[in-house]
Chain A
Amino acid sequence: MTSVSVVVPVKNGGELLSEVLQAIVREQPDQLIVIDSGSSDGSAELAETIGAQVIRIEAAEFGHGRTRNAAAEAATGELVFFLTQDATPVAGWLAAYLAAFATDERVGAAFGPHLPRPGSSPTIARELDQFFGGFSRSGEVTVQAAADEAGWHPGFLSNVNAAYRRAVLLDVGFRDVKYAEDQAFAGDLFAAGWLKAFVPGAAVLHSHSYSQLGFIQRYFDEYRGLRQTVGHVEALAPLSAAKKIGRLVAADERWLAQSGGSAAERIRLLPSSTAHHAGRHIGAVLGSRADRLPASLQRSLSLEARDGVVRNDRESAVVRGKPIAAQRERELFYEMLDLDGESGTPLLDPTPGMSERERLHIAVVIPSFRTGSGGHDTIFRIFQKIEQLGHSCSIWLADPMQRMKGEWPAVIRRRIRDEFVEIDAPVYKGFDDWFGADVVLATSWQTVAPVLQLPDCRARAYFVQDHEPGFSPTSAESIWAEDSYRKGLFAICASPWLAQLMRERYSASASVFQLGVDSGVYYPRQVERQPKTIAFYGRAATPRRAVPLGMLALAELHRRHRDLRIVIYGDRHPLESTFPYEYLGVASQEQLATLYSEATVGLCLSVTNYSRAPQEMMACGLPCVDLAGFSAESVFGKDGPVALSEFSPKAIAGHIEQLLQDQELWNERSQAGIEFAARHSWGAAAVEVEAGLRAALREQETAGRQA
């Protein structure tokens, strides 16, 4: 038989103490411990008379957490039950707890309901009834495993009426806090891997009949403790507080009506109920901000007359930081945790000829987006064209950080159609409705983890628009980005340079597509070409566009030619410079097409994969300068339509100067650019991507045959 110790901390227990201790004795525990912290009303003597083992401590020594920890050490039972001096256990209390602990050895702590004492106000009775009823509608024992799991207050635990395995108590221990040590314990219990149970049969009679001011003081203490333990700060929000109070008063009234209260009783309830709930809000708001109040005011507002200031006692020997409450539903990049050490869900067995089937189902997994995202624009443009090739596409938004939390799928789809292109594909948010695909496509390193876990796919591919590890300094993100290329996904790359990188550095299979130009927007407009006008893609927010290098080149050029007109666009904020220029901000496509049609030379620098900007400039007949040594040669050729400069401000300035001064060269580059852009439509890009998708399937077919 499991042995039980019951512990009751007491200070001036008053008239209820005898009733409480006698009720405990009737339940026949193996040990009853009363910890008396300086009673002057004979409580300790009364406890001794009833047969309790009394431990006397000084009032100053008392602490909700540390005193209970000391009691656990003094207890001999395998289970240790805690009650407060005003909580009277009902018959069967101890047996109900014993039964609950016997059903699951992972249960480390348990708590039972509080019943209203006869004569309690309907507000208190309703609150207790509904609060504890919420833990178990069926009247059966329920178990909680985490403070943030779904369900009714899963983190709740109250030492008014609680039971613990002694071994767990000694291992986890209560924190040495002024208040709410039980709530803090629940979190620590879960963190240590134990479960918590609610035991409906282990009830106690426990309710307070404070004055209205007393209730404010009580909630002041409670919320001060919550702030100290879990960092909770009650929002002031008068309007929503008023609404909440209104709802609670209505709930009290409904409860009284259901309990058979007369109309007169219900009307009489309204003012007291309003005062109670408003007082609670005031106490909560003040209590959770107690640290900002003077000590004397804190003492006045506290039922226990404490000022909350940490004194030079044992607590001061412990280093404690500022408590920070949980602020996220999920940790950043939590999906990497799911993938840790896993290679992903197996693909479907290949079927012969699957790579050549006329119509494929392509599932495109995208990260969250903002208006004007160039990467997303490329994805949607290409997959719109893929749809036009006869394939069926679906778009799946992976948004673990919930950046698009407030947007539902139909709204996201409309945004794509309004802000990017008119795709036919449906849009899904998350993967609850996942139904498989011929090829599932990751489109950024963050989408690789979900793509690897999706079942019912014939092949997985990776739409690689740039070398993403280069987007951030060496970091967890850059390492994860690198790792994403080693997951065996077939890479469909937006330049030969990128494909070579995938093959050589990451040993990935890769195919190439080249970015397209929207010829309906970018074509030489009927505007006069302005002399000595430089258009610079100066998007400083994107470091890979080497804006400081471009600014140095323009400064050098301005030193040589004072009559230059420089137009800088692409960033939300103007850049500081040593030369005057025109700032166009984040320009629309129409503005850009006009700018490219009237400027003399375009400047767009890329130190990773190339930008769409040079092609759009070329499509408008604007010769442009980019950097040699990165991806541009692989796309435009060494001596192609784009002037490629070494990584030097003076060299860049020299290339621009040459185009400004040599009309024949300018004409030649302009014509070559228009011809290049004409060959690079989005339709052509889609055909290349389609070939990549089929290559991904073919690779699986070949692997299947070899197996």
Chain B
Amino acid sequence: MEAETDPLATDQLLAENQQLRASIAELEEQLSAQSARTNEIVAQTQERIYWLDRWHIDLDKLVRVPGVSQGRALLRAIRAPFRLLKKAARKLP
């Protein structure tokens, strides 16, 4: 004798299944969008850093060289008063 299936339970299962599939599709779409965005950002960055790569300049490595950070700070300190003056000059009528 065949077991009787509860039509209500079957409907519930089907609905749940459909919901899960929709959820997977949405997550997949998010992942896909994320991959596409990652590719886009990396490609844009590669476009910008072309000359650094061309001359084999690794900025991360460069700033770790002793004295480079200090030199940069010194340059900024030298440049600061000129910038201030420029800014002030722009405000003059």
Contact = CB atoms under 8 A, between A and B. Distances in A.
Interface stretch (A212-220, A271-279, A355-363, A570-578): A355-363
A409 to B, nearest CB: 6
Interface in A325-365: 351-354, 357, 359-361
A414 B50 contact: yes
B32 to A, nearest CB: 5
B39 A393 contact: yes
Given A352-B24, A353-B21, A410-B46, A392 B56 contact: no
Contacts of A406: 56
Nearest to B24: A351
Interface in B13-60: 21, 24-25, 28-29, 32-33, 35-36, 38-40, 42-43, 45-47, 49-50, 52-54, 56
Contacts of A437: 35
Contact of B29 (A357, A411, A413, A436): A357
B32 A361 contact: yes
Nearest to A391: B36
Contacts of A351: 24, 28
Contact of A410 (B25, B35, B38, B47): B47
Interface in A57-108: none
Interface magnitude class on chain B? 20 to 34
A424 interface: yes
Contact of B46 (A392, A427, A438): A427
A437 B52 CA distance: 28
Given A353-B21, A357-B32, A410-B52, A435 B38 contact: yes
A436 B47 CA distance: 23
A392 B54 contact: no
A409 B47 CA distance: 10
Contacts of B24: 351-352
A414 B53 CA distance: 11
A353 B43 contact: no
* Interface-centre pick from A359, A411, A428 (highest chain B CB count, 10 A): A411
Contact of A394 (B25, B39, B47, B53): B39
Interface of A: 351-354, 357, 359-361, 392-394, 406, 408-411, 413-414, 424-428, 435-438
7 contacts: A351-B24, A357-B32, A393-B39, A408-B54, A424-B43, A425-B39, A437-B35
Interface of B: 21, 24-25, 28-29, 32-33, 35-36, 38-40, 42-43, 45-47, 49-50, 52-54, 56
Nearest 9 interchain pairs by C-beta = A408-B53, A392-B36, A426-B42, A410-B53, A410-B46, A426-B43, A361-B35, A410-B50, A411-B53
